[in-house]
Every structure is written in structure tokens, then in C-alpha cells.
A and B are shown apart, each in its own frame.
Chain A
Amino acid sequence: MTNRELGWTDMCGAATPPASAPRILLVIPCFNEEASIGNLLNEIAATGCHYHTLVVDDGSSDATSAVASCRSPVARLTQNLGIGGAVQTGIKYAARQDFDFCIQIDGDGQHDPRAIETLLNAHRKDPANITIGSRFIDNAGFCSTRMRRAGIRLIVLALNGLFSGGRITDPTSGMRLLDRSAIAFFAKAYPTDFPEPISLAWAMRAGLTVNEVPVEMRPRESGVSSIDGLKSASYMIRVLGYILLARLVRSP
């Protein structure tokens, strides 16, 4: 289907979306994000674009579901599955509801919803199965700590060296657009450990293409990252191991 057929124009601003407009689902995985999820959903509504949203509450113990359900459908996971399980729930929903695109954005307020249009425009100009919002093309905005950036560089070297299908600069970015092929692929299998970089390795191994577009990210509004200090080193070693493993085994 061509971009014109998909009706890219007038996605935003019109009172009702044109009949040929692509159906876009924003998947927002959340874990105890009651402080930031309301603002994020308001920001999405303020873009004036006809996005469908799905908040995936990953077993939160706070009022995340209650806050989010006022403005969006919420898939409540009875147990905490981790970011991989939560994101795959959204992808499975996108596959079943026949969405054209599935865009993942974090519920902690790090991602500016206005950048969604940047991802869609990038896909329109240069269609790829996965389009990542990268912090490291322009190095603008919040770019994580120095130690984590060094780790990310190693992961980038491994991914770009071992797989073809795209040049990646930000494999840990949680802001990414998936087209129908990527949605179908990840609905079947999605990594539970270190899902962002490993999902790229799986996708490129299966022949999906990856593209990147510069976006600015913000520091998280609330909560702390689960990967800090010594955990960063452990994270990096394990991710590199998984990437190597992905290279060695055949596509499922």
C-alpha cells in the first residue's frame, strides 16, 4: 500500500480522520506511572492527531490504571511481566485490531508525543519496517549518562557489525514505529529480556529493515531507571551475549 493510499495527509487537525487515513496505535507501557501518565495522555490529545492509544498497565500497585482509564483504553496485566511482556501485549492488540502502525512510547514522560509525527514522516519518506526515534543522531535533549552511552555504543557496534538491514545509533530507544510486517512478526515472538536491542537483532535476522530519525527526549518525570551503577555493566554484557546468540541461531 502506498503512502498516498494510506492517506497520510490531514492526519492531524481535521475534525474526523479521512477514510483512507492509516490506523495508528500508540502503545504506552506503564509500571507505577500515576504521576506522569495523565500528562502524557493530555499531551497526546493536544497534538490534535487521530491516534488510538492503548495503555498497558504492567501490574502497577498505584493508581496508573485509574488515571489512564479516564482518557484511554487500558490493558491491565495481572502480574508484572516486564517491559517486553507489556509491549508485546500492545503489539498483539495492534495485530488483532488490524492497525497499520504501532508506535511504542514510554509512559514516564521521556518521549514527546509531538515526535510521533516525526516518526511517521520519516516512514513516509523512507519506509522501513521499524523506525526508531534516536537520541544520538543529533545528540540533542536528554542523552542518558556517560556510562550508559558507552554501553550503548558497544551494543551499536555489535548490532551493526553482526546484522544487515539498517544502521542503528540508538538500540535502547523505547520510541519506535512498527509497520504491519513488524507488528505481525513481534506479535508472534518478542524478547522478554532486554527487549529493545534484542528485538532489533531478531527483526534484522528475520530480514526486517530498520531506519532511524532524530528525536529529542526528556528526562523522566518520575521514578528511577532500573539500570544504574553496576547493573549497567551486567546489562551490557548480557545484551551482547543475547545479540551474539541471535546471530548464531536461525530465525524462529
Chain B
Amino acid sequence: MTNILPSLETVAAISAFALIYMLVVLRKTLQGKFDLYDFLMLSMVAIIPAGFALFPSLAYFVSHLTGVVFPFVVMFGALFLVVFAFMHKMTARLHKLERQNCALIQEQSLLALELQAKERNQRGR
């Protein structure tokens, strides 16, 4: 099968997207909206397509290694992997926050109850 190389326009468009997107994500990371893990995982959306466009021979080599005919299938596979890894971490983090939130609400209500009891005792003396 002939290796089809991406056109100059494709490379330019993907590189521009990658650059702008990564700058936006970097800005948000510096603002503290994302942590380093989020930055790396979100950057993959730009890095992986850019890698496939800028290094087509590497893309064909990877698709050959994985036994997949078209490199873009490998690229989407890699993107799905990143998305699922990110979702996995996010779900775990969400459940942890849910548990912590529940414990905090319980704790707050019990402390308020203890405080009321102490105030009643003090008034009773």
C-alpha cells in the first residue's frame, strides 16, 4: 500500500490548532484552573494529531506495528485511550469529592448539635 503523505495545508492547519489549543490550556493551567495532570492529558488532543501530521513515517510505522491499515484509526484509538484514562481519573476524583462532601455536611450538622447541647448546659448552670 502506498504511503499517502499529508498536504502542507493539513500540516499547517493541525499545527496551528495544536499551538493555539496548547496555549489556551497552558494559560488555564497557569491560572490554576487545571493541574499538571489535566494539562498533559488535555494537551494530548493537540499533540497526537500534530505528531501524526508532522511525522507521517512514524504514523505508518505505528500502524504497521499495531496491524492497523490506516494511521488515522491508530490516532483515534490513542485519543480514546487518553480520554478514557482521563475519565477514569475524573470519576474516581468525583466520587472521592462526593464522599468528602457528605462527610463534611454530616460533621457540620453534628458539631452544630454538640454546640447547641453545650450552650444548653451552660445556660442550665
Interface of A with B (CB < 8 Å)? Answer: 54, 56, 73-79, 81, 85, 88-89, 92-93, 96, 192
Q: How far is the CB of B106 from chain A (nearest CB, A)?
A: 5
Give the dominant DSSP class at A's interface.
Answer: mixed
Which of B109, B110, B113, B117 neighbours the largest number of chain A CB atoms within 10 Å of its CB?
A: B109
Among B108, B110, B116, B117, contact of A78 (Cβ-Cβ < 8 Å): B108
Kindly list chain A residues whose C-beta atoms are within 8 Å of the C-beta of B112: 75-76
- How many residues belonging to B are interface residues under a CB distance threshold of 8 Å? 11
Q: Is B105 positioned at the interface, with any CB of A under 8 Å from its CB?
A: yes
CB atoms of A81 and B117 under 8 A apart: no
A79 x B105 contact (CB < 8 A): yes
**CA A37 – CA B106 in complex, angstroms?**
21
Q: Mark B65-106, 1 if CB is under 8 A from A, else 0.
A: 000000000000000000000000000000000000110011
Partner of B110 from the list A75, A79, A85, A192 (CB cut-off 8 Å) is A75
Contact A89 B116 (CB under 8 A): no
Given A54-B113, A73-B116, A93-B113, 9 more contacts at CB 8 Å? A75-B110, A76-B112, A77-B105, A77-B106, A81-B105, A85-B102, A89-B106, A92-B106, A96-B110
